[in-house]
Amino acid sequence: MTQAMASKVWAAHLLTLFPEMFPGPLGHSLAGRGLKKQLWSLDCHNIRDFATDKHANVDAPPFGGGHGMVMRPDVIGRAIEHLQDSLPDSHDTAFVYPSPRGRLLDQKMARQLSQKDGMVIVCGRYEGLDQRAIEHYQLEEVSIGDYVLSGGEQAAMVILDAVVRLLPGVMGKEISHLEDSFETGLLEHHHYTQPRDWKGLEPPEILLSGHHQNIAKWRAENARDITASRRPDLMAAYMAKKHLDTEDKD
């Protein structure tokens, strides 16, 4: 029995009008290797397959007028219910709707999603989903940033990439993501590699010293300096948490 069969495989289910966009970038590199090794699974369903009229319509003009089209709740509802029926009752699955109006994706959310059994992602197009479907199925709206994409598929890829790299076995060394930006609350330190002299530029001397303790100290300071200058908001949150942790210990 393979490792993937022995334990539950983290499962991504996508509802999309463009299933051919997947796995796309998720079929390469870390996520792609994980997919091939069955450390996670991806299945796509075409929302149009759940339309029932002869033109296979999935959208309609908004009530109240205005531009664009809105995705019909009856069509998306059939698609979601089809998935719900196919999921084991014991599975803890997140139902996510990528949307610029959603909660901003961060590392904490990615980690929480990776600890579930999987995710259903409903990809919107046009002006998005009828609000009744969002509320009826309690879809969690997740934004990947304060800008508007042309569809939920691109956002779904970003969300999935952030999540699947955290699944056990997907990264070479299981601990390697612990030093990533945001995992510590700070941005990551600078990195340097060969050649030692490039265009007359040398890496910081300390990194060539072989003194692991001093290197770790330099990296920690470097991470703090970078965070303070680039993301004062993160630095303030880091300092506040540190202060609380110290108080807890006292």
Q: Is 100 a catalytic residue?
A: yes
**Least Cβ distance, residue 161 to ligand ADE (angstroms):** 13
Q: For ligand ADE, give the closer residue by CB, 73 or 98.
A: 98
**Least Cβ distance, residue 106 to ligand ADE (angstroms):** 13
Q: For ligand ADE, give the closer residue by CB, 99 or 227.
A: 99
CB 141 within 8 A of CB 133: no
Catalytic residue from among 49, 74, 117, 127: 127
Catalytic residue from among 59, 130, 153, 165: 165
Q: For ligand ADE, give the closer residue by CB, 4 or 158.
A: 158
Catalytic residue from among 78, 100, 141, 188: 100
Catalytic residue from among 161, 180, 183, 225: 180
Q: What secondary structure letter does DSSP report for 129? A: B
Tell me which long-range contacts 168-172 makes (C-beta under 8 A, separation of at least 24): 168/39, 169/3, 169/34, 169/37, 169/39, 170/30, 170/31, 170/33, 170/34, 170/39, 170/40, 171/30
Q: Is 127 a catalytic residue?
A: yes
Tell me which long-range contacts 90-94 makes (C-beta under 8 A, separation of at least 24): 91/8, 91/11, 91/117, 91/118, 92/116, 92/117, 93/11, 93/13, 93/117, 93/118, 93/119, 93/120, 94/118, 94/119, 94/120, 94/140
**Least Cβ distance, residue 124 to ligand ADE (angstroms):** 7
Q: Which residues, listed in sequence order, are joined to residue 94 by a DSSP beta bridge?
A: 119
Q: Is 174 a catalytic residue?
A: no
Q: For ligand ADE, give the closer residue by CB, 163 or 207.
A: 163
Q: For ligand ADE, give the closer residue by CB, 35 or 144.
A: 144
Q: What is the DSSP string of 160-198?
A: HHHHHTTSTTTSSSTTGGGGSTTTSSSPPPP---S-SSB
Q: Which residues, listed in sequence order, are joined to residue 97 by a DSSP beta bridge?
A: 141
**Interface residues toward ligand ADE, by CB under 6 A:** 98-100, 143-145, 147-149, 152, 155
In this structure, how many other beta carbons lie within 10 angstroms of the beta carbon of residue 178? 10
**Least Cβ distance, residue 84 to ligand ADE (angstroms):** 22
**Least Cβ distance, residue 89 to ligand ADE (angstroms):** 29
CB 188 within 8 A of CB 223: yes
Which residues participate in catalysis according to the annotation? 100, 127, 165, 180
